[in-house]
Amino acid sequence: MVALLRTPGPVRLFLLASLQSSVGNAVGYVALLLLAYDRFRSPWAVSLVLLADFLPAILLGPVFGALADRSSRRVLVVGGELLCGAAFVALAFAHSFALVLALALVAGLGTALYHPASKAALAGLAGERAEVAMGALVTTWSAASVAGPAVGAALLLAFSPSMLLAIDAATFFVSAFILSRLALDREETVTGTDATSDNVNLAIAAGELVTPHEPDAAIGHGVRAGLRAARGIAGLGAIIGAGAAATLAFSLMNVAEPLLATDELDAGGVGFALLVCAYGVGSTLGSLRGRADARFLLASLAAGGVTLCASAVVTTLPMAMASFLATGLFAGAVMSSDQQLVTRMAPEAIRGRVFGLKDSLDSLAFCAAFAGGGVIASLGGPRAVFAVSGVGALTVAALAAVVLRQARGRSSPHVNA
């Protein structure tokens, strides 16, 4: 993966554009949440802004994915970045909560438009190295999750949160400029391994899929085609479902992190920052190890479940940092492997639809984690959150292994499970 960043070419430009945009986005959302709480003095302001970011992807991810298979991916990718940039420029000057919420929805809409098209475009741009490129993309996200808050904290020493929103907007515009100059629109043909190609060809012959070349195919039909593909390609639905469940399990801990650090370990804000940093470093390193192998994905998910359970019983800050670092390693490996497997299994002709469906389920999992984590923490404390998420990860790994074994038995040499 690192070799892709060292090798000049369009894939490196794409990844570098994503890295700086992701760092800027992390900085921007730190500033946006601070601004929302500072101006409106309510935790509901923070919660609603977070929900606004995810809601468009939950509701429209499959639609935008279908659009990515039927129109210019470059236009969608650049348009999504420009929409986010414009929203963050306006957020820097917004003073009413209604306007802040509306602009957060616009930013979420741009993100929902960008993600399925960008992942499908990157896979096409990378060609035979699509899986490696997708793993590298996940690494840029993980690295941004570590660097972004640190950069944001440093910038807050000199600038206001409003200025940070403007800086975030600039990174979107830079990304849009770079991506507009790349050949992201390639002829969309059914590619991938022979087994997957056969599955899709049979589905097309049966009238179950709509190809991008059919001018009268409706977007709604395209969405349904993506859903049928997830069910029809052996193992693909299980991988997408396991990825969403893993997102839910690993995201539950976000609610419990500050409570564990400040209340249970008495480590204060510094301890919380160290835990977040340990997890982020682990996630970045883990994503470098990810690969398109279902066995590896499920083993990493199970190991992550064990380390989450370990976090439920830690008694000192160093122990917690070690468990968070290990959890991050396995979570990064799961996320990278998940994206790489979906890239391998989804043929080019329907990649946008599959990624749109996946984005929708992953966003829903994030929202469920924020809500569920709060409920569990209020009933049983932060340690209960880690225990529930750990047991959940172990359960999902076991169930997914059974489903994938059955899928392999039904004929998918494509799934290495």
Contacts of 405 (CB under 8 A, 6+ apart): 417
Rounded-to-10 torsion of CA 107, 287, 345, 119: 30
Q: Give 333-343 pLDDT, tens digit per residue.
A: 999 999 999 99
Nearest to residue 4, comparing CAs of 111, 127, 113?
A: 127
Residue 414 pLDDT > 60, yes or no?
Answer: no
Angle, in degrees to the nearest 10, between helices 351-380 and 236-259 = 30
Average pLDDT over residues 171-179: 96
Query: Domains of the chain by range and CATH?
Result: 2-180 (1.20.1250.20), 230-409 (1.20.1250.20)
DSSP for 74-100, written as a single string: HHHHHHHHHHHHHHHHHHTT--SHHHH
Report d(CA 112, CA 102) in Å as an integer.
15
Residue where the block lists tokens 């022979």:
194
Please determine, for residue 216, whether its predicted confidence score (pLDDT) is greater than 50: no
Q: How far apart are CA 213 and CA 232, in angstroms?
A: 21
Average pLDDT over residues 72-99: 93
- Least confident among 74-78, 191-195, 388-392: 191-195
Mean pLDDT calculated for residue range 19-46: 81
Give the rounded distance of the alpha carbon of 246 from its chain centre.
Answer: 11
What confidence score (pLDDT) does residue 190 get? 39
Residue that is written with structure tokens 């929302």 in the block: 36
H runs (alpha helix) in 194-235: 194-205, 219-232
pLDDT at 283: 95
In single-letter form, the type of residue at position 69 comes to D
Q: How far is CA 325 from the centre of its chain?
A: 19
Q: Report d(CA 78, CA 181) in Å as an integer.
A: 10
214 Cβ partners below 8 Å, 6+ apart?
none
Cα separation, 401 vs 409, in Å, equals: 12
Token match 């996946």: residue? 358
Q: For residue 105, give the nearest of 54, 59, 52, 31 by alpha carbon.
A: 52
* Confidence category of residue 235, pLDDT binned at 50, 70, 90: confident
What band does 7 get if pLDDT is binned at 50, 70 and 90? low
Q: What is the mean pLDDT of residues 68-94?
A: 93
CA distance 17 to 216: 35
Integer CA distances (angstroms), 411 to 88, 89, 267, 308, in order: 48, 51, 53, 35
C-alpha distances out from residue 98 to 12, 41, 45, 138, 168, Å: 39, 14, 10, 33, 21
For residue 402, give every residue at least 6 positions away whose Cβ sits within 8 Å of its Cβ, in sequence order, or none: none
pLDDT in tens, 265-290: 998 878 888 898 899 999 999 999 99
Segment 318-345 shows an average pLDDT of 95
Instruction: Read off the pTM.
Output: 0.84
DSSP alpha helix (H) spans, 41-160: 43-70, 73-91, 97-126, 130-156
Angle, CA of 107, 367 and 220, to the nearest 5°: 65
pLDDT of 220 above 70: no
